[in-house]
A and B are shown apart, each in its own frame.
Chain A
């Protein structure tokens, strides 16, 4: 469905992302995981042609036979929303506060079809039901500030799926939401992608979340794919040292109420932070923060296939494979 080949995104002479191969098989869900600044948002945004103006893109992003790199703005505008939907990161910034919710949803439909008003109204109500929002009459007449963050995100999901896109991109859709709502929104995105048979690219920095939503996980760091594989395999038996560090830096949830506030073991963290653009080391980009660096890491690291779709790029992988 989506095949990325030799994609290179450059800003001011620095490579923000370099991806040799990344595939999304039709009907599957792919998770992109990485720290802030790892380039994961840049990769999905360039799929929609929404990269910053200063960025230049070479290589190929092929969507169902259509080449997206170098596509004119006009053609891209037609693909956005109609073939590829986007669920944004921050719902509070993504709805116009001075427009009624109903109008904003119907706009997404009208832009890609010339159906009559009656059909559009019916479709809007269908979408409201699809995203499990109660009381459509009230919701449609509301302004965004009258809805909660979770309801706003549901409205945005309705807008994203308005034209039955083949692919849905969710760019950290729960980051701006209350923890109690995050689960519901994840559940909704997962159910919708199954019900409507949409491919899903899910961007997140939480491996734990991605594992439950996606079939495949790609771990991204410094614009490079570090590890790809089936979700469970990547989380349970990571190969790359960076994946391992990411997993061990997840908070261990308190198991019983008695554990709350008690020390359940020190929280692991990865030393340092993602270097600034252009300050990445040669060879493996994670080298300067890695505890398992060996001499070979200074040389460019090729992608190595372990089996089938399980690939990684680490000179010193866990369990000595590759």
Chain B
């Protein structure tokens, strides 16, 4: 039987760096770099993010005092990107974690509840997944006002059915195992079995799903703030930086390229990380030695 390189809970000590999938290392490095940049913004940024400097507008990339140039108000672009990383990660981490917790609990409950509720909920989840999330976010933004709160709420609503769907199938499969029946046979409660036996067995799936959802959340956050329903000034956000740069595309193309690249790096990083984790946990995945 094929064995995964790393089973959840086993000691990773014997796994050497060179054994790890390349995507995991690259993705991990990119995500780690972004997280460091975001944390750095709390203690230091090159310039004040909202400081306007009219004399130094539209400086190109590579200017002496502004490595990534300045925008139409003379604000430092590097500072904008660093502050944007903070907002991006904040929104995606908060929304992903909340929806993952709720979705996992819902999925576990449904998996243990029996076929009738399973049918109802999986159909409901299908409907939920089919509704365009951006649309929900726009409606929410008009209802509670645009801002990070609207973006986070929209992403949570979007992701709960997605994460529940990922959990239900594997949880049902684990619940059909003999050791689960044995645990029930010994008089263990449903709650105990779900958290002590089922959850550890599907945790690798949840971890992989989390990294994929982080990537999606970053993209959604950028889209929402690009559309104007996400983060509002003066909070810096990649999507809004992109939006402000759009009319100036011919004057200063670099103003669009830089936040675009930041989004690409973040999404790529989390996707690679997800791929790497999947390769690490999934025995079916063929790996090159």
CB of A132 within 8 Å of the partner chain: no
CB of A252 within 8 Å of the partner chain: no
| Bound Cα distance from A88 to B179, whole angstroms | 10
Docked-complex contact A80 and B186, CB < 8 angstroms: yes
CB of B201 within 8 Å of the partner chain: yes
Contact with A along B171-212 (1 / 0, CB 8 A): 000000111011001110000000001001101000000000
Return the chain B residue nearest A90 by Cβ. B178
| Given A97-B7, A98-B201, A48 and B187 contact (CB-CB distance below 8 Å) | no
Return the chain B residue nearest A111 by Cβ. B186
Contact with A along B1-29 (1 / 0, CB 8 A): 00100011110000000000000000000
| Bound Cα distance from A89 to B197, whole angstroms | 20
List the 8 closest pairs (A to B, CB-CB), nearest first: A77-B187, A98-B200, A94-B178, A93-B178, A98-B9, A96-B179, A80-B185, A94-B179
6 additional contacts, CB 8 Å, given A93-B177, A98-B200? A77-B186, A78-B187, A81-B185, A81-B186, A96-B179, A99-B197
Docked-complex contact A143 and B179, CB < 8 angstroms: no
Docked-complex contact B200 and A99, CB < 8 angstroms: yes
User: Chain A residues with Cβ under 8 A from B177's Cβ?
Assistant: 93-94
| Bound Cα distance from A116 to B113, whole angstroms | 36
Docked-complex contact B197 and A88, CB < 8 angstroms: no
| Bound Cα distance from A95 to B9, whole angstroms | 15
Most buried by B among A86, A88, A97, A108: A97
Return the chain A residue nearest B202 by Cβ. A98
| Given A95-B179, A99-B200, A50 and B7 contact (CB-CB distance below 8 Å) | no
| Residue among A50, A90, A143 making CB contact with B9, cutoff 8 Å | A143
User: Chain B residues with Cβ under 8 A from A99's Cβ?
Assistant: 9, 197, 200
| Residue among A89, A94, A98 making CB contact with B182, cutoff 8 Å | A94
CB of A74 within 8 Å of the partner chain: yes
CB of A14 within 8 Å of the partner chain: no
| Bound Cα distance from A73 to B200, whole angstroms | 26
CB of A145 within 8 Å of the partner chain: yes
B interface residue numbers (CB < 8 A to A): 3, 7-10, 177-179, 181-182, 185-187, 197, 200-201, 203
| Bound Cα distance from A193 to B173, whole angstroms | 34
Shortest distance from the beta carbon of B13 to any chain A beta carbon, whole Å? 13
| Bound Cα distance from A143 to B7, whole angstroms | 9
User: Chain A residues with Cβ under 8 A from B7's Cβ?
Assistant: 97-98, 143, 145
| Bound Cα distance from A99 to B177, whole angstroms | 14
Shortest distance from the beta carbon of B199 to any chain A beta carbon, whole Å? 9
Docked-complex contact A74 and B187, CB < 8 angstroms: yes
| Bound Cα distance from A80 to B185, whole angstroms | 7
Return the chain B residue nearest A80 by Cβ. B185
Most buried by A among B9, B182, B200: B182
Docked-complex contact B185 and A93, CB < 8 angstroms: no
| Given A98-B200, A143-B9, A88 and B187 contact (CB-CB distance below 8 Å) | no
Shortest distance from the beta carbon of A137 to any chain B beta carbon, whole Å? 15
| Bound Cα distance from A111 to B187, whole angstroms | 9
| Bound Cα distance from A77 to B177, whole angstroms | 18
User: Chain A residues with Cβ under 8 A from B9's Cβ?
Assistant: 98-99, 143
CB interface residues, A 135-161, toward B, < 8 Å: 143, 145-146
| Bound Cα distance from A143 to B197, whole angstroms | 14
Contact with B along A39-77 (1 / 0, CB 8 A): 000000000101000000000000000000000011001
| Bound Cα distance from A91 to B200, whole angstroms | 19
User: Chain A residues with Cβ under 8 A from B203's Cβ?
Assistant: 98
| Bound Cα distance from A148 to B206, whole angstroms | 28
| Bound Cα distance from A98 to B197, whole angstroms | 8
Shortest distance from the beta carbon of B227 to any chain A beta carbon, whole Å? 43
| Given A98-B7, A98-B8, A145-B3, A88 and B178 contact (CB-CB distance below 8 Å) | yes
Shortest distance from the beta carbon of B266 to any chain A beta carbon, whole Å? 32
| Bound Cα distance from A90 to B177, whole angstroms | 10
Return the chain A residue nearest B182 by Cβ. A94
User: Chain B residues with Cβ under 8 A from A143's Cβ?
Assistant: 7, 9-10
User: Chain B residues with Cβ under 8 A from A90's Cβ?
Assistant: 178
User: Chain A residues with Cβ under 8 A from B181's Cβ?
Assistant: 50
| Given A93-B177, A94-B179, A99-B200, A50 and B185 contact (CB-CB distance below 8 Å) | yes
